[in-house]
Structure 1
Amino acid sequence: MEYTQLGRSGLKVSRLCLGTMNFGPETSEEDSHAIMDRAHELGINFFDTADVYGRKLGEGVTENIIGRWFAKGGGRRERTVIATKVHNPMGEWPNMRKLSALHIRRACDASLKRLQTDYIDLYQMHHIDRDTPFDEIWEAMEVLRTQGKIIYVGSSNFAGWHIAKAQETARRRGFNGLVTEQSHYNLLTRTVELEVLPACADYGLGVIPWSPLGGGLLGGVLRKIDKGRSASPHMVEQLEKHRPAIEQYEAFCDEIGEQPANVALAWLLRQQAVTGPIIGPRTIEQLNGTVRAVELADELDDKALARLDEIFPGPGGPAPEAYAW
């Protein structure tokens, strides 16, 4: 496994981030623990979760699974850079969501309890909160950091101007601000190249792409269907929308002798400001297969990258050059 700095921080994280959203709803607790153990064996030290993961309102199912894994000891917590999130509803009442100082305080304490740890390495805002000023958000984060409950702060699903506003507010307060941004980014979804990636590069944020395989479309979907794998109605709809590009993509992967999922991950690892994409394996076999992507990222030459740009054209580079001059 290769490692890199987490944004402009001094923290070292693996180039692949283990996503845990499937833990509970799709993967049993026993299998989830086995996947995390295997991730450590493979050198993956960066795990991502959220208080809302588990699909049961307010229960923090996935964080609890991770917490019971940490409780097994054996250096599991010490070897792990754990990232979790705050913003989405954890109850029906109005102050059980978003980024008020009250909710941030309560949500952090609840995550710490579920994770069975006394600190969170990376505490991420799951979404922008348009109703709460950044001065209030940063004051709450400053208190948590002073208390030793969080170390770094990240964002998710922020626009470029949100990142700029957050960072300038933090700078005025003498606070470190954001070190990461978690964005929806893959070969099919490249809008963040306009504003978000340039903002992250300029402010020193590491980008953590979520849904790197486009919901499965970039994971060899045509091959799987040909082998009799069933597809959801949504997957069928998206496949028909993108079929010409997906056909070209899988043919290109066959040409270079690589798995489509690994090519998609490797491409992301070559993009501006990207720290590491979030992989969401449901099984150990799926996890084992992703490690090749780190090696492949070093092997993709300019010709291969140009071919991928032909198949999946991006927005044309950063703004405003992408649409003006």
Structure 2
Amino acid sequence: MQYRKFGRTGLSVSRLCLGTMTFGLQTEESVSHSILDKAAEAGVNFIDTADVYPLGGGENLAGRTEEIVGRWLKGKRDRFIVATKAVGKVGPSPWDQGASRKHLLDAIDTSLRRLGTDYVDLYQLHSDDPETPLDETLEALDVIVRSGKARYVGVSNFLAYRLARALGRADVLRVARFVSVQPRYNLLFRQIERELLPLAGEEQLAVIPYNPLAGGLLTGKHRHDTQPAEGRFTATVGKAGALYQERYWHKREFETIDTLRAIAVDSGASLTKTSLAWVLANPLITSAIIGASNPDQLTDTLSAIDLTLNAELKAQLDDATHEYRWGDAAR
């Protein structure tokens, strides 16, 4: 395993981070623990979860993933960097969501209880909350950091201009500053290269992208004319399945995958390893979040850390997916 400094902080994390959003719905607890064991054995010391997980579980199952991770962490908490997130809806009350002071201060305590720990290393806003003033959110996060319940704070799914404004307001208020950003990033979704990644570079933010394999599409195992029987594109995960279909399940994407598969075959590596290695090859990427529904799925992704793309291969991949830097306008 390789390790890298976490943005401008003194923290070091593994270049692969284990995402856990399948734990508790698609993946039962015993299998989830086997996945965590395999990742840890490979040197992964960074685990990412969220209070709304498992994916597709809805309010009734919100928190189950944190509980599964917490039981696995018992007796070895000090060996891992643990990140969780809040903002999504986790209960029936109107205030059981968002980035208000009330919700965040409640949410961190609930997450800590589920995880069985006194603190998380990274506490993230799962998404932007335009309904709550940024100052209120930043001041609440500062309380969480100063209380010792989180070592650092970060964001996920933020537009570049909102993140820039939040960084500026944190400096004015002299409160805890965001140290990381967790965006979607892969060969089929490159829009963050235009504004978010340059901002992260200038501000020395850690970048921990999710979906590096486009929800499994970049494994090459799916076909456009065949509906998947399992995984993130199915009705099993409820609205999330529809979301993933909307993101990636299009003729253009499958045609691109055929091109990428041919490039990978010529290079002698699998499409999975090549796609993940491409994400890691970007010097602004700190750690890529990988997921699995069973331990065997980690074999290829964990080995991607050892694959170095030469300049010619990287240029081929860049050229084949250049249109994905521009979003739906190119469709």
TM-score of the two chains, using structure 1 as the length reference: 0.90
Find the counterpart in structure 1 of residue 263 from structure 2. Answer: 252
Find the counterpart in structure 1 of residue 304 from structure 2. Answer: 293
Letter in 1 for 2:94: P
Letter in 2 for 1:286: Q
Between the aligned partners of 1:155 and 1:189, the Cα distance in structure 2 is: 19
SS in 1 for 2:25: coil
Change (3 A) 1:105 1:304: same
CA offsets per residue over residues 161-184 of structure 1, 9 Å max, x none?
A: 111111111111223411110101
SS in 2 for 1:282: coil
- 1:2-13 equivalences in 2 (<5 Å): 2-13=2-13
Is the Cα contact below 8 Å between 1:194 and 1:315 reproduced in 2?
no
Find the counterpart in structure 2 of residue 268 from structure 1. Answer: 279
Between the aligned partners of 1:60 and 1:213, the Cα distance in structure 2 is: 25
Offset of 1:148 from its aligned partner? 0.7
Letter in 2 for 1:303: E
Between the aligned partners of 1:315 and 1:221, the Cα distance in structure 2 is: 21
Letter in 1 for 2:110: A
Between the aligned partners of 1:117 and 1:90, the Cα distance in structure 2 is: 20
Please give the root-mean-square deviation of Cα atoms over the aligned residues, in Å: 2.3
CA offsets per residue over residues 170-206 of structure 1, 9 Å max, x none?
A: 1112234111101011101011111110111111111
Letter in 2 for 1:67: G
Percent identity (aligned): 41
Does residue 1:305 correspond to 2:308, yes or no?
no
Offset of 1:225 from its aligned partner? 9.4
**Equivalent position to 1:277, from 274, 288, 298:** 288
Find the counterpart in structure 1 of residue 69 from structure 2. Answer: 66
Offset of 1:267 from its aligned partner? 0.5
Find the counterpart in structure 2 of residue 320 from structure 1. Answer: none
CA offsets per residue over residues 204-223 of structure 1, 9 Å max, x none?
A: 11111111111222112259
Find the counterpart in structure 2 of residue 138 from structure 1. Answer: 138
- 1:1-325 equivalences in 2 (<5 Å): 1-54=1-54, 55-57=57-59, 59-71=62-74, 73=75, 76-221=76-221, 238-296=249-307, 299-314=308-323
Deviates more, 1:14-23 or 1:176-185: 176-185
Offset of 1:229 from its aligned partner? 7.5
Between the aligned partners of 1:199 and 1:315, the Cα distance in structure 2 is: 19
Between the aligned partners of 1:275 and 1:65, the Cα distance in structure 2 is: 26
SS in 2 for 1:83: strand
Offset of 1:315 from its aligned partner? 6.2
SS in 1 for 2:130: coil
TM-score of the two chains, using structure 2 as the length reference: 0.88
Between the aligned partners of 2:225 and 2:32, the Cα distance in structure 1 is: 26
Is the Cα contact below 8 Å between 2:187 and 2:324 reproduced in 1?
no
Between the aligned partners of 2:251 and 2:22, the Cα distance in structure 1 is: 26
